A and B are shown apart, each in its own frame.
Chain A
C-alpha cells in the first residue's frame, strides 16, 4: 500500500523540514517565554494604566486568527513605503522573520495570559510568610513567587508549546519549507497521500508525544510535592507487603 521507494527518496526532504519546524518552534517559544514574563507581571498589576495596554494586546491577538496575523505582517507591511525604504527592510521582507514575528507575538499573548493567571492565583499568605521570615523583596520574587507561579502554569504551558508546534505548519503558506510544505510538494509531485501527508502526520504525532512526555517529566520534577506516592520512600515502596 505504501510505496517505500517514494518514502526513501523524499525522507531527506522531510528531515530538512523537521529541522525547520523545530527551529521555528524553538525561536518563537523562547522569545515568547522571555517576553511574557514581564508582560504577565504587568497584566496582573493592580494599576489599570499598566494592566489595560497589555490586556488590549492579548485580546486583539487572541481574538484574531494566526493566519491573518501572519498575512498582515508578511503581505501587509510592504504596503507602506516608509517600511520598504527603511534600513531594516531586507530583514522585514524575509518570510523567516515574518513567520518568527507572527508566531512570537501570538504565543507571547497566550503565554502572558497563562502566567498572569498563575500570578493571580498566588496565595497572599505565601508571600507574607516569606516576608515574615525575613526574606528580601528580590529573594521573595526569586525563591518563592516565581517558582510557585511557574509550577502552577506548567501543565497549561505544555499545551501552548504543543499548539505552537502545530501552528508552525502555517509557515508553509509563506514559502517556508517546513514539514507540511514538504508534504504538499511530495503530494504535488507524486499524487500520493500516505507517502506525503501520512508521513508528515507521523512526524507531527511523534513530536507531540516527545513534547508531552518531556513536560510530564518536568511536571514530575517540579510538582513532586503534589504526588501522593512521592512521600513513600523508595526503600519502603520496594518492601513486599505482608497482608
Chain B
C-alpha cells in the first residue's frame, strides 16, 4: 500500500519528534526567562520582555523561520569570511529548533507568567517565615504549584508547536512532511503519503492529550475539584 516507503516515513517521525522536543526545551527556557523578566521590578527587563512577546506573536512563524535560516546563513558567511575559514552551511535543524523555540517561548511567557501569578503570595512568605531558603521556596513551593497552573496553557502550546514542526520541511529538514514529498515524487501517490503523515500527526496529538491530562491529574492531587452539575 505504501510501496515500501512506510519505514522511511515512520523514521521521519523521529526527526519530527526530536525537532519538537528540542524546540520545547528552548521554548521553556525563553518562556521562563520571559515570565521572570515580565514580573521583575526593572522597567527595562519588562520592556524587553513585552517587546519580545508582542512582536513575535504578531508575525507568521514561517516568516521568522525563513528569516532566521537565511539571516543566520548571511551572518555565518560574514564570520567565515572575516576568519578566513572554509564555507559553512547553516544547519536547518539548529535554525528550525531555535526559531520554533523562540516563537513558542513568547507564547509560553504568558502561560508561565499567569501560572506564577496564580500562586498566593502568602505561601511564599510563609515558606520564608518557616526558614526555607530561596531555592527551597522555589523548588518546593513555587515550581510544583506553578506546573499545575501552567499545564492547560502548556498543553495547548505544545499541540500548536507540534503541528508547527511541519514547517521545518520548508527549510530542508528531512522530517515526515519532507519524506512524504520525496515518496510522493517517486511513486506518484502524493495523497497516500501526505494522508499517512496527517494520520501520524493525529496519533501523536492524541497521545499528547492523553499523557498531559494524566500529568494534570497528578499535579492536581490534593486540590479539591469543583463538582460540575
- Chain A residues packing against B (C-beta within 8 Å): 60, 63-69, 71-72, 75-80, 162, 166-170, 172-173, 180, 183-184, 187, 191, 193, 197, 200-201, 204-205, 208-209
Contacts and interface: CB of A to CB of B under 8 A. Distances in A.
A79 B62 contact: no
Given A63-B201, A71-B180, A201-B67, 15 more contacts: A64-B202, A65-B164, A65-B165, A65-B201, A67-B166, A71-B181, A72-B194, A75-B184, A78-B190, A79-B190, A79-B192, A180-B62, A180-B63, A193-B67, A197-B66
A201 B164 CA distance: 19
B129 interface: no
B201 A68 contact: yes
SS of A interface (majority)? helix
A68 B198 contact: yes
28 contacts: A64-B163, A64-B198, A65-B166, A65-B167, A65-B201, A67-B167, A68-B166, A68-B201, A71-B177, A71-B181, A72-B198, A75-B184, A76-B191, A76-B194, A79-B189, A79-B191, A166-B60, A169-B60, A172-B62, A191-B74, A197-B63, A197-B66, A197-B70, A201-B63, A204-B58, A204-B63, A205-B58, A208-B59
B25 interface: no
A143 B181 CA distance: 51
A39 B86 CA distance: 58
A57 to B, nearest CB: 12
A200 B63 contact: yes
A183 B67 CA distance: 10
Interface residues of B, number: 37
A170 B62 contact: yes
A66 B167 CA distance: 10
B59 A75 contact: no
A162 B169 CA distance: 24
Nearest to A194: B71
Contacts of A79: 188-192
A76 B70 contact: no
B110 interface: no
A14 to B, nearest CB: 13
Given A65-B166, A68-B197, A79-B192, A184 B66 contact: yes
B167 to A, nearest CB: 6
Nearest to B188: A79
A211 to B, nearest CB: 10
Contact of A65 (B55, B163, B192): B163
A188 to B, nearest CB: 9
Contacts of B190: 71, 75-76, 78-79
B194 A63 contact: no
Nearest to B209: A63
Contacts of B90: none
A171 B113 CA distance: 34
Nearest to B170: A173
Contacts of A65: 163-167, 177, 198, 201
B206 A63 contact: yes
